[in-house]
Amino acid sequence: MQIEVEIQLNGQTVSGAAEPRTHLADFIREEALATGTHLGCEQGVCGACTIFIDGEPMRSCLTLAAACDNADIRTVEGFADDPLMQAIRESFKQHHGLQCGYCTPGMLVTAYDIIRRLPGADRQIIRREISGNLCRCTGYEGIVNAIEAVLKDPPVASLQEMARSKPRSRSDGLDKIVSSDSSMSPEAGPTTESEATDLPDADSFDTAVNLEKTITVAAAPDAVWQIISNPEAMVSVIPGASLTAPFDNGIAKGLCEVKVGPMKAQFQGTASIVYQTDAKSGTLVGRGRDDFSRSTLEGRLDFVLVPDGVDSILDLNMRYRLNGPLSQFGRAALIEEIANALLRDIARGLEEKLNGTAISEHHSKAPHPANGSRFLVSALVGLLKRVLRRSR
Ligand code: FES
Ligand code: FES
């Protein structure tokens, strides 16, 4: 199957056919022959492929071309006459910020983003911000020096340009949720127009990352459904999550905190939830934004609760898009393992809530940030086990 994709690449329209799994880096390199974007690991780890998509730095090896129809893409070639990038390039040259140059296109794009977004950044912040870009040659000192030098003495023209331009949000132009969605359920009232425009199109996730998961809960489906179909109750068993307004007209507003090592993200957002009580199923479509990193997460979750003897199984189909700097940590295998750890906690929280037992440490105080370090450890252990299993 081939999908027609049209993008604006460095101000030029580029169109072509892509397979659903073709990533953007390959599409750019092969359709437009714009080979300035380098591919290293192709797993979201090295950062060599970092480019701007709608004004935000992203891994083009993890972004599907089909998900970028109509997107505004800027690669290293698109900065030829940009005064800020000219200053960064010159500074990299002066401070020996490159040797073989393989990491350099991604480094330059990331440096540009740091200088534009964090004009007061010190060396520690620069190091943290470039930690998603690996260089095997320079030892990073020259790169940090180069970025620091431009931060201290940015070209005047670039400051004027930065004041004028504002990164365009990927949400611009997204379709509204059609209000007929609300007719799927007697429980969900009509979605208001302003709330609906905040949400992504429920049908727009065909090419998004897909995760299928199940949770087994040691309780009967009727009892579990009582919690699942009540957002106020459900949110109390999700680590780090809380509602910021009462659930109203099928719309939930809330936030979710995730902590991974020193990095903390707080996604604040809105979701439309439609329940189908007879089938014990439902659909959630939502979008959240972490203001600090300017990353957005949007997704669709379809769920159905089925009996399993005296227990219940919750089947989940999640499709999501993570955009912005945090997508650098969006390696699929890692996200999957983090999701596994989170779902285990949710299952335990559901059981504890149903049993009326003391809610464990992760659910006792709301909101308690989802501890990504703990998830990360579980994730790495999970990955290790799978690798060892494969190598036997
Ligand atoms: Fe390494 Fe994309 S090629 S992160
Ligand atoms: Fe060679 Fe960075 S300059 S990998």
Express each pLDDT in 281-301 by its tens digit: 999 999 988 887 667 888 899
Ligand 1 centre to CA of 381 (Å) is 23
Q: What is the pLDDT of residue 56?
A: 87
Is the Cβ atom of 44 under 6 angstroms away from ligand 1? Answer: yes
* β-sheet bridge partners, residue 159: none
Does residue 387 have a pLDDT over 50? no
| Least confident among 52-56, 79-83, 363-367 | 363-367
Q: How far is CA 388 from the centre of its chain?
A: 29
Q: What is the pLDDT of residue 174?
A: 27
Ligand 1 centre to CA of 247 (Å) is 40
Does residue 386 have a pLDDT over 60? no
Model confidence at 167, pLDDT cuts 50, 70, 90, reads very low
Give the best-scoring range by mean pLDDT among 183-187, 188-192, 216-220: 216-220
Ligand 2 centre to CA of 139 (Å) is 9
Q: Which of 231, 260, 255 is nearest to 242 (CA)?
A: 255
Give the best-scoring range by mean pLDDT among 53-62, 140-149, 182-191, 269-278: 140-149
Is the Cβ atom of 286 under 6 angstroms away from ligand 1? Answer: no
Judge contact between 218 and 199, C-beta under 8 A. Answer: no
CA atoms within 13 A on the CB side of 49: 24
Q: Looking at residue 214, what DSSP letter applies?
A: E
Which residue has better confidence, 171 or 374?
Answer: 374
Structure-token pair, residue 103: 């990491």
Atom nearest to 60 CA in ligand 1 = 2
Is the Cβ atom of 47 under 6 angstroms away from ligand 1? Answer: yes
Ligand 1 centre to CA of 255 (Å) is 30
* Angle ∠(332,336,339) on CA atoms, nearest 5: 140
Collapsing DSSP states into helix, strand and coil, what is residue 19?
coil
Q: What is the pLDDT of residue 14?
A: 95
Q: What is the pLDDT of residue 240?
A: 84
Is the Cβ atom of 101 under 6 angstroms away from ligand 2? Answer: yes
**Phi and psi for 15 in degrees, rounded to 5?**
-130, 160
Residue with CA at minimum distance from ligand 2 atom 4: 135
Collapsing DSSP states into helix, strand and coil, what is residue 390?
helix
Q: pTM here?
A: 0.54
- 342 Cβ contact partners less than 8 Å away, ≥ 6 residues apart: 238, 239, 370, 375
| Least confident among 71-85, 103-117, 265-279, 354-368 | 354-368
Collapsing DSSP states into helix, strand and coil, what is residue 10?
coil
User: Which of 100, 108, 141 gets mutated to test ligand 2 (max ligand atoms within 8 A of its CB)?
Assistant: 100
Q: What is the pLDDT of residue 171?
A: 37
Cis peptide before 83 (omega within 30 of 0): no
Does residue 184 have a pLDDT over 50? no
Ligand 1 centre to CA of 370 (Å) is 27
Does residue 113 have a pLDDT over 70? yes
Whole-angstrom distance, CA of residue 335 vs CA of residue 307: 28
Does residue 80 have a pLDDT over 80? yes
Does residue 198 have a pLDDT over 60? yes
User: Which of 41, 45, 76, 135 gets mutated to test ligand 2 (max ligand atoms within 8 A of its CB)?
Assistant: 135
Judge contact between 311 and 216, C-beta under 8 A. Answer: yes
Give the best-scoring range by mean pLDDT among 60-64, 173-177, 370-374: 60-64
Model confidence at 188, pLDDT cuts 50, 70, 90, reads very low
Tell me the average pLDDT across 94-118.
95
Q: How much is the mean pLDDT over the chain?
A: 79
Q: Looking at residue 179, what DSSP letter applies?
A: G
Q: What is the pLDDT of residue 144?
A: 97
Does residue 111 have a pLDDT over 60? yes
Give residue-wise pLDDT tens across range 335-378: 666 677 778 888 888 888 888 754 444 444 444 555 555 555 55
Q: How far is CA 7 from the centre of its chain?
A: 21
> CA dist 361 to 107, 242, 364, Å?
41, 16, 5
Atom nearest to 134 CA in ligand 1 = 1
Q: What is the pLDDT of residue 357?
A: 56
Judge contact between 231 and 362, C-beta under 8 A. Answer: no
Is the Cβ atom of 136 under 6 angstroms away from ligand 2? Answer: yes
Where in 208-349 does DSSP place strands (E)?
Answer: 209-217, 241-243, 251-260, 263-276, 281-290, 295-308, 311-323
Does residue 277 have a pLDDT over 90? yes
Collapsing DSSP states into helix, strand and coil, what is residue 248?
strand
In DSSP notation, 97-142 reads --SS-SSHHHHHHHHHHHHHH-TT--HHHHHHHGGGS--SSS-SHH
Is the Cβ atom of 102 under 6 angstroms away from ligand 2? Answer: yes
Q: What is the pLDDT of residue 196?
A: 45
Whole-angstrom distance, CA of residue 19 vs CA of residue 64: 9
- 154 Cβ contact partners less than 8 Å away, ≥ 6 residues apart: 84, 87, 115, 119
User: Which of 45, 96, 98, 140 gets mutated to test ligand 2 (max ligand atoms within 8 A of its CB)?
Assistant: 98
Does residue 10 have a pLDDT over 90? yes
Whole-angstrom distance, CA of residue 8 vs CA of residue 211: 29
Ligand 1 centre to CA of 386 (Å) is 22
Does residue 238 have a pLDDT over 50? yes
